Structure 1
Amino acid sequence: MSTVTTDRADAAVSAPANARERAAEPATRPPTRTGGLRRHWRAAVLGAVVLVWLLTWAALRGSQTLELGGAERTDVHTWLNGLRDSFDAARGTSAVFEYLIQPITNGLNGAVAFLQHLLSQPSAVRPVPEIGWLGVVALLAWATFAAAGVRSMLLVAACVLLFGFFGYWQQSIDTLIVTFVAVAICAVVGLPLGVLTARNRRAASVVTPVLDLMQTLPSFAYLAPLALVFGIGPAAAIVTTIIYSLPPLVRITEHGIRAVSPVTLEAVESMGGTAWQTLLKVQLPMARRTIVVGINQCTMAALSMATIATLINGPGLGGPVLQALQSLDVGSAFVSGLAIVLMAIMLDRTTTAASERSGIEARVQRGTAPTGMRGRRGRKIAVVVGAGVAAVAVYLSRTYLAFAQFPASPDLGAPLAKAVSGATDWTVGTFSGFTNWLREAVTAALVNPLESLLAQSPWWAMALVLLALAFTLGGWRPAAVTVACEAVILGTGLWNESMKTLATTLVATLLVVVAAVAVGVWMGRSRLVDSAIRPVLDAFQTIPPFVYLVPALALFGPTRFTAIVAALAYGVPIATKLVADGIRGVSPVTVEAAESMGTTGWQMVSRVQLPMARAAVVLAANQGLLYVLAMVVVGGLVGGGGLGYLVVSGFSQGQLFGKGLAAGIAITALGVMLDRIAQHAAARYGRV
């Protein structure tokens, strides 16, 4: 982004000289009016499309909308129900299931069950786990100290103890088990794959589109198909988590390997180093810190998906959150959600500290670290002593019941849940006038009109409008993808629900962009403001999306607006940081030149910084759109309606499984379509 803006700044500085040169040339350019028409033809086409769309909607409103009732099913939904039954029947007869799917399922279920009996649940021969709570705390603290240092060790010990004091010891350890198993498999698969794509362009050309698709799909889209193949339970939850969390690890590993200096690689080659030696002794050590960052991102994505996977009977903290949301028990939802937040903070800070430590150790090995960092003998002794302390704690937890079963007191969860419920009731009672007004105002002014326009237009008119927008904004490639995705959505029989989901997504994206531009410009223009707000945005990005539903539900109840609020909180951090970085990347030369001409603050923002940071703003809108779509469909759990609600209904009602699976397919098509349009539009308008 900074390169683009610097180029534009240089062009702006040299503009007077270029203008003088052009004045001396013959007037061979086309007329200014024609040039203006060529530059603005897309805006004219978009205006014409919108005008025709509005006229069609006004004339044919409510006709041919393909609306489907809640319990109604199409032939496709019935066929998908039959497909589920066929999969169930094939589990004992099909060779594919017998020799491929079932071994994977049994292996994953067995691994999770083994770890649960070892750490969190009674085993077959003991009324308590093989390693009690004291041993678990000691082992986790020791492993954290060895990898990340004393501060992270204290943080992990405190958070793990709080899980028990909140009353969610077993569920918390189960969540850690699912997360760690998924991350371990991701590391085994993702690290070699990242190295391969970094060193082999052909492999990268094959793997990259697959990773793009995996990152584009909203998390809900994974659930039903994988439950169909692996059944509900830990195996399906782990596979879902792997698919969701593998792409960041592969991409960041690839980036780390490619970022190694070519000069260093040439020096190794000149010394006769083989490709294998170059990888093991140069590229991997020098990319170690970046790879640990990839593991950090993979871990956070895995935790996020592990909580959502409770919908397919995945073990862990997602279950209590889901039950509390369904019963509108805000207090219990807050406590279990707080446990998830603490776990996210714990994992994020630990892996970040491990990344920083790995960077220091790499400098020590190269001899570039300060002298005080080179003496590591004392730390090694501390690690050995810690291992001994952890072994003693494990022995005590296997011998004494008090150290095996987490104590019932102090109970922090019940009083906290009661206090939160009381505070929520007071807040809602006190500010209900404002919250109701805000909900009704946004719904009436934005959601209802746009939903009526999208969902009440004839399906063929809406399809043509989307196709025209895709071609005008992005070109023929996103238009071709749009045609394919529209065909898929029509095939699922859920066109009307897809348009409702699209309406909610667009409203939430608009609010995200407005908030991101307002706050991002403020941050980009002030280092002090940036230093105050950026840590808050980082913290919001750490929170799994499931948790955002809790405060939104508490304030606004189960409505579509609740899903929009949750999506706003989920999408604003990444979009805001992109805008702030874009504003800060504007050339200081251009800013100084504008200031010397007496430009006011508003003129500086509106006429200099925002136009020159256009690429960052468009990218922020693109990323905000994808984040919003992922959260809007999750909002089906709290009254968001649309496709997300159908996915949830498919899991809770057997006769609607096919409809829920179709909704997942429609979500996938909608996500791919929006991503392709947004990416091509970002590439086009970011460089205009």
Structure 2
Amino acid sequence: MARSSTPQPVEPGAPPPVEEHTSISRWIPATVILAAWIVVWYFTNGTQTLSLPGTSRTDLHDRLTEFQNDLLAGRDTNPLMQFTNAIADALRSLFEWIQKLVVVPSFPRPVPEIGWLGVTTLATYVALVVASWRIALLVLASFLSFGVLGFWEDSLDLLVITGISVVLAVVIGIPLAVLIGTSRRASSIVTPFLDFMQTMPTFVYLLPIVLFFGIGPSAAVVSTLIYALPPIIRIAGFGIREVSSTTVEATDSAGQTYWQRLVKVQLPMARKTIIVGLNQTTLAALSMATLAAFVNGPGLGKPVLAGLRINDVGTAFVPGALIVVMAVMLDRTTTAASERAEKVARGGGGDPRVRRGLIIGGGVATLVAVYLSRTYVSLAEFPEYSIGDRVASGVSDGIDWFTDTFGGATEWIKDVITNEFLNRTQALLADSPWWLAFAAIAALAFVFGGVRALVSTIVCLAGIWYFDLWHDAMITLNMTLVATVLVMVLALVFGVWMARDRRVDLGIRPLLDAGQTIPPFVYLIPVLALFGPSRFTAIVAGIVYAAPAAIKLVADGVKGVSPTTIEAGRSTGQTTWQEITKVQLPMAKGSLVLATNQGLLYVLAMTVIGGLVGAGALGYDVVYGFARSEAWGKGLAAGITIVLLGVMLDRITRAAADVRRDDGPGSRRAFNLRLPIGPPSN
């Protein structure tokens, strides 16, 4: 008779059920595959690696470049190009109109302009209305810092690009969120597109967008919109879908129409979740708008990129710090707006008379400030005085002192990890014959994710082979896997520590939240200062970027383990180490898999951006495609290859998580995640 998979009841005070040791069985075939791979690699090392010397291109890359040239040549007659040109012109005109309205002073004015005093006061007033006086002070301080540090126009340009993109994301995203929140069929159709958009690293959006929308503000808005759209669709759709079915049925019984149910019940009850989606979309838009400096997008990304190109950390630091200030300002404002909306919906929100007085008084002050800034040049154009140069000089001096004092230590760390880990694993992945690496990766995907992961992996690996960048893809994959292992080590250490000690959680979580608001581009600045341009710099930046999300996921998963189970184990005399390794981590496997999945994708995105600081491989190929028109095809092929890598890693980790859930914790096929990722060699 087959054994039932239903969990058996546990007597009070009895120890928790112990997982069968056969749960580690998946690592046995994985170890065999790796051993066979190493043996074959030993005899075939360096052959058939499909390595391209230097900046060489293949016929496929040149054909892709010809495709671009043909499209550009037919820009005036091709219907698709005419359509995208019209969109680009409209977005460029909108940006220039708003830019003249709030940024560019010119006397006498050909168009209405608000000026710096009016803009600052208006932004402060909006924060007061939607949030609170504390947030209003934060916004005021943030706007003043833009001017005091000498980047007023760049800061406003970045805000304008972000604002246009967020408005368009809301206009497009909310109807789609309603659609997937009220229709399972629509959700099944839309969700794969959202998965694809979020799996694709940010850098990869830019090449095809430049082809169809050119460079400048229009390309910046379109790329930012595409990247910022999925969060609001997913989160708002989830909020609408989670509205109590009992409430919906009760209101339906009163005879309301579809639109009445949506407007009067579902949207109001999902208000808080929708604003959370707006928060995430805003931060995503800021991140991508910063990266759009690569396509001549206006804003603070330009001076950051200029500093990185000449390896001048001081020059890049000030605009990078202002990007962080802007991210914190937008994050806190939208979060406070969400909390206030919830309080108002519940009848709270403080004394209405006091708030009404503040709003009326603030409105009058704002009108006066706008009038003054339209009347006096000194109140329209931010004063020339700036401390930005002194701050940049001080940072450069500080970095020089640090590298002179601790350069030996940082160089030692870089050499140890590069020589002992990075070079060894790269030798196996990148120096194996392509067919050997193909077969080994596919076999490992099958071991950890089953048939579904195997099919996805074969399709993605075949695509990587087709686009003639196999060797560079394996180097990028190697950097991603090494960085993810280090991310998961940090996630396990700090996540378990946070889950077991509330004071540690209260101390570390705000730092993690702040880390997640910083656009990835900014992480390159301090890491470049410490380690100089190299593969290792890109890996460290990826670790710093990915660690906050992974740590929080592990902490929340371990914290969610039943207290009853933990107490039962303690009653048997378990040590702290036994409790962590035999109870908490095994029961939080789902969170560990999710943390690994997110860590992989975050690291991959940052490894690509690391092409700017000496990471080489696919990241460099994409950057090279931007810089040289004749290499556009190679850059596009590299971008598509990065997407294929991301999809492959995403599908393997997701399939591994699904296998674990389907099999149950005590099954022979259960997937033990005490080790962080699939291929243990990397």
TM-score normalised by the chain length of structure 1: 0.92
Paired position in structure 1 for 2:667 = none
* CA distance 1:591–1:8, shift in 2 (3 Å): farther
Partner of 1:316: 299
Aligned partner of 2:680 in structure 1 is none
How far does the alpha carbon of each residue in 1:361-415 deviate from its partner, in whole angstroms, 9 at most, with x for none?
Answer: 1112xxxx4xxx4742442343233222212211211211101111112x22111
CA distance in 2, matches of 1:56, 1:640: 28
Q: Deviations over 1:603-654 (max 9, x none)?
A: 1112221111122112111111111111111111111111111111111122
Range moving further from structure 2, 533-542 or 378-387: 378-387
Task: Select 1:577's aligned residue among 552, 559, 566.
Answer: 552
Structure 1 contact 121–129 (Cα < 8 Å) conserved: no
Deviations 1:134-163 (A, max 9, x none): 111011111111111211111011101101
Note if 1:644 corresponds to 2:619.
yes
Alignment-derived partner of residue 177 in structure 1: 160
Tell me how far apart the structure 2 counterparts of residues 181 and 559 of structure 1 sit (CA, whole Å). 36
Corresponding residue to 1:605 among 580, 583, 600 = 580
Aligned to 2:372: 396
Deviation string 1:207-229 (CA, Å, 9 cap, x unpaired) is 01111111111111111111111
Aligned positions of 1:271-310 closer than 5 A = 271-310=254-293
Corresponding residue to 2:90 among 97, 104, 107: 107
* TM-aligned CA deviation for residue 18 of structure 1: 12
Q: For residues 198 and 525 of structure 1, what CA distance do their matches in structure 2 show?
A: 36
Deviation at 1:110, TM superposition (A): 1.0
User: 1:596–1:14: structure 2 CA closer, same or farther, 3 Å change rule?
Assistant: closer
In 1, Cα distance between equivalents of 2:10 and 2:525? 49
Distance in 2 between residues matched to 1:275 and 1:651, nearest whole Å: 49
Using the TM superposition, give the Cα deviation of residue 71 of structure 1 relative to its aligned residue in structure 2, in angstroms: 2.0
**Cα distance, 1:354 vs structure 2:** 0.3
CA contact (8 A) 1:286 1:362 kept: no
Q: How does 1:22-421 map to 2 (within 5 A)?
A: 42-98=26-82, 100-122=83-105, 126=109, 130-364=113-347, 369=348, 373=349, 375-409=351-385, 411-421=386-396
Alignment correspondent of 1:557: 532
2:517 to 539, 542, 548: 542
Summarize deviations over 1:8-60 as a string: whole Å, max 9, x none.
Answer: 997665897999xxxxxxxxxxxxxxx987x6653332122111110111111
In the alignment, does 2:497 pair up with 1:501?
Answer: no
Measured in 2, the distance between the counterparts of 1:672 and 1:13 equals 45
What residue is the counterpart of 1:588 in the other structure? 563
Q: CA deviation at 1:466?
A: 1.4
Kindly state the Cα deviation for residue 344 of structure 1 after the two structures are TM-superposed.
0.2
Q: Matches of 1:232 and 1:17 in 2, distance apart? A: 64
- SS of the counterpart of 1:475? helix
Offset at residue 123 of structure 1 (A):
5.9
Correspondences of 1:386-465 after superposition (within 5 Å)? 386-409=362-385, 411-465=386-440
From 513, 516, 528, give the equivalent of 2:488.
513
Question: For residues 10 and 550 of structure 1, what CA distance do their matches in structure 2 show?
Answer: 54
The answer to whether the 8 Å contact 2:105/2:380 transfers is no
Cα distance per residue 1:285-323 (max 9 Å; x no partner):
111111111100000000011111111111111111000
1:185-240 residue CA offsets vs partner (Å, 9 max, x unmatched): 00001011101111111111100111111111111111111111111121111111
Please report how far the alpha carbon of residue 680 of structure 1 lies from its aligned counterpart in structure 2 after TM superposition. 0.7
Instruction: Provide the secondary structure at the position in 1 that maps to 2:114.
Output: coil
SS of the aligned residue for 1:70 comes to: coil
- Give me the CA root mean square deviation: 2.1
Cα distance in 2, alignment partners of residues 336 and 10 from structure 1: 59
Partner residue in 1 for 2:678:
none
The answer as to whether partners of 2:105 and 2:381 remain within 8 angstroms in 1 is no
Cα deviation, residue 101, structure 1: 1.2
% identical equivalent positions: 51
1:488-526 Cα shifts (integer Å, max 9, x gaps): 212221110000000000000000000100011111111
Aligned to 1:669: 644
Distance 2:247 2:562 in 1: 32
The alpha-carbon deviation at position 246 of structure 1 amounts to 0.7
Query: What secondary structure, in the 3-state scheme, does the structure 1 residue paired with 2:346 have?
Result: helix
Distance 2:472 2:6 in 1: 44
Please say which of residues 325-334 and 120-129 is displaced more in the overlay.
Answer: 120-129
Question: Taking structure 1 as reference, are residues 319 and 201 closer, same or farther at Cα in structure 2, changes over 3 Å only?
Answer: same
Partner letter of residue 354 of structure 1? Answer: A
Distance 2:159 2:218 in 1: 15
Residue deviations 1:305-349 (CA, integer Å, cap 9, x gap): 111111111111111100001111111111111000000000000
Quote the Cα distance in structure 1 between the aligned partners of 2:364 and 2:15: 75
When structure 1 is superposed on structure 2, of 166-175 and 257-266 the one drifting more is: 257-266
**Could you tell which deviates more after superposition, 380-389 or 430-439?**
380-389
Amino acid of the structure 2 residue aligned with 1:65: T
Task: Write the letter of the residue equivalent to 1:208.
Answer: T
Give the C-alpha shift of residue 127 in structure 1. 9.5
Task: Supply the AA of the counterpart residue of 2:63.
Answer: W
Give me the whole-angstrom Cα distance separating, in 2, the residues matched to 1:11 and 1:329: 64
SS at match of 2:323: helix
Tell me the distance in 2 between the aligned counterparts of 1:466 and 1:14. Answer: 46
* Count of paired positions: 658
Q: Deviations over 1:426-477 (max 9, x none)?
A: 1111111110000000001111011111110000111111111111111122
Is the CA contact 1:564–1:632 (under 8 Å) kept in the aligned structure 2?
A: yes
Letter in 1 for 2:156: I
Gaps of 5+ in 1: 1-6, 20-34
Q: Is the 8 A contact 1:12 1:590 kept in 2?
A: no
Q: For residues 106 and 645 of structure 1, what CA distance do their matches in structure 2 show?
A: 31
Residue 22 of structure 1: aligned partner = none
TM-score scaled by structure 2?
A: 0.93
Q: String of CA shifts for 1:255-310, please: whole Å, max 9, x gaps.
A: 11122122211211122222211111111111111111110000000001111111
Separation in structure 2 between the aligned mates of residue 585 and residue 295 of structure 1, nearest angstrom: 27
Is the 2:206–2:223 Cα contact (8 Å) retained in structure 1? yes
Q: d(CA) in 1 for partners of 2:29 and 2:581?
A: 25
For structure 2, the residue ranges without an aligned partner over 5 or more in a row are: 665-669, 671-682
Separation in structure 2 between the aligned mates of residue 307 and residue 394 of structure 1, nearest angstrom: 28
Equivalents in 1 of 2:322, 2:10: separation in Å?
52
When residues 134 and 18 of structure 1 are mapped into structure 2, their CA distance, relative to the original with a 3 A threshold, is: closer
Q: Secondary structure of the equivalent of 2:215?
A: coil
